[in-house]
Structure 1
Amino acid sequence: MMNIVQLREPQEIKAFIDSSRYLSTSYLYKLPQEYEDFDTLLNEAITHPGVIAMTENNQIQALILAFSYDNHRYKIIGPFIAQDFTLTDNQFKLLFDKLIEQQPDESIFNFSFEEGAQEYKTYMKTIHASYNFTDYYLEAQKDLGDHFNNQNIIEYQKGFYRAFSKLHMMTFKHNAMTPDEIIESLDEHNRLFIFVSEGLLKGYLYLQVDTERNNAEIKYFSSHMDYRLKGIAFDLLEYALKYAFEHYTIHKVYFKIRNKNSKLVERFNELGFQINYEYKKYKFEPRHLHQDFSS
C-alpha cells in the first residue's frame, strides 16, 4: 500500500536522493555539491515547507521538496524516483498537493527542467502548472572575425553611475550583484561596457573573465526599455565577444538569457553563440487555479 508521509531525517533523505533517478527532477542543478551546503538546504526544506515522500512497505519510492527564495515563493526540487519505480502523473500530484497544502493561495511554486534531457510535461499538465519562460545558456568558442567598430560602446565612467544603477536594478531583481558591487569589482578581469548615444546610457554589459578556467561570462547585460529593438544589446554582445577573445587567452564566452521568444535567441547564432542548455520554467499559482474552477 502506498502512503504519503513527511520525512524529517536528513540522512534518510540524502541516502534516497543519492540512489534515485533524476530524469524528472526539477531544479536538479540547485542541489549544492558541497556536503555542508547540501545539509543546510535540506534542513531548511525539512523545517519549511517540508520534504514529502511516497512510501510502499516503509520503503521510499519517490520524494519531493522545496526551498523558499522570497516571501511565499518556492522552487521545487523533485521528484526523486526510486530506480525500479514508475511515478504516475496522479501520484506526482498527490506528492505535490501534500507539499503545498499548508501554503496560502498567494504562494507561487516554480519548476525548472532541462529541455531534451528530462521528462516533465505530463506532470506539469496534471497539476495545471503554466509555462513561464525559458532560460537559454549560450556559448561561443571563437570570434567570427568580422570587423566591428562601435564608437558608442565605451568602458564605464563615473558620470553614468546613476543611469547604470537604475537600469541594472530594474532589470535584475533577485540574487543579483548590486550596482555598487559590480563597480567595486572592476579590474583587469571584470569589465563594464556601456552603450552611450546622445549623451545617454542606453545599455550596458558586465564581463567576467576566469583565467584559471580560460573562459569568460557575460554575467549581466541589458538595454533601456525606451530603446529596445534597436540592436543595442546585440551590439554590446558582439563587442564583448570580440574584446574577450582579443584580450584574453580563453576557450569560450558564455551567458544566460531569459526569454519566451526562441526566434530572438536564434539571432545570437549570427555572432557565433550556440545554445548549450535550455531550461523550461513553469509555475503553479493556487489562486489562479481556484479562480479558473470557480468562474
Structure 2
Amino acid sequence: MQLDWLETFVAVAERGGFGAAAQTLFRSQSRVSAHIAGLESELGTVLFDRSQRPVVLTTTGEKLFLRARKILDEITAARADVVDLAGQVEGKVVLGTYASAGANFVPEVLRTFCISFPHVEVRLVEQAVLGIDSALSDGSVDLAIRPLEPKPTVPGIHHMPLWRERMKVVVAPDHPLAGELSPLPVTALSGYSLILSGAGTGGEAQQLLSTRSIDFSVAFWSDQPTTVVSLARAGLGVGFVNALALVAPDTEGVRILDVAGEGLVRDVGVYWTDRMYTSPAVLAMHSMVVNSPTPEGTTVIDGLEPTR
C-alpha cells in the first residue's frame, strides 16, 4: 500500500469527487483514479459508491477513512520532526542521469533537495546508460535515473520504476512521413533510415523496432535530444525518440508524430546499490527522487515493488 494512495483516498473522501481531489492534490484526474483503483485492488474491496454524485464512502471506505486520516496526521508530525533534523544530514551525493531526464526532471529534484538538506554536497553526472551502470557498480555514482531497458549487465544493482512515456517520431517538414496522420503506424517506418539513441547498448528504441520485424537502417546514433532533432530537421533521417527528449530542444521546423502500437514506451526508474543504505545523504536523495512529481506528459508506473 502506497502513501500516495492513502493521500488520494482521503482527498477524494473529503472533497466528494475525483476531479475536486485532483485539483487539491495538483494531480491529473487519471492519476487520482489510478491511485484509488490500486488501493481498492490492494484491499480487495470497493471504497466509494460511484453511482452517487458526489461520490460517497462505502461502509468499508468509512472505516478506512478514519484510520487513513490518523496515519496521515502522524506522518505529517513525523515529517515536521525530520525537518528539524534535516540540517544535521551531511555528506555527499553523486546522482547519475541521462540527457532527457537531466533536462526535465532532475533540476526540480535537486532544487528541492538542496533547500531541504543544505549541508549535503550534490554532484550531477550525465552519461549514456552503460556508463551509468558502470559508475554505479564502481561507486563513482551513488544513485542513478535511467531507462529500465536495456537491463543492467553488472550485478548488485537494484531499482524502482518511476514513470512511463511514449515513443515519438521526428521528421523534417518535407519528409514523406510528415504528411501522414498522427498516430503513425509503426510499420510505416519500414524502409527508412532512423536516428536512434543508445549506440552499442541495444537501447530500447532499437529493441522496440527489432521485435516488430520492421526493415530499417540506422542513419545516426546520438544520446543528445537536441542533436536528434537537428539531424531530423536537416532531413538526415527519421528520429525515433522518447517523448521527454522532445520537451527541452527547439522543435520548430520539424513534425512530431505519435506512434501507434502496443508497448511503444520508455519506462524509467531510479537505480542504486547496497551502499545506499549506509549513507543518510544518499537515502535522503533516494526518497526525494521517489516522491517527486513525475515529468509532465508521463504516467506513473504504479503497483511495482523495488527490486532488492
Return the structure number with greater strand share. 1
Q: Would you say same fold, with TM above 0.5?
A: no
Give the TM-score normalised by structure 2.
Answer: 0.28
Give the TM-score normalised by structure 1.
Answer: 0.29
Return the structure number with greater helix share. 2
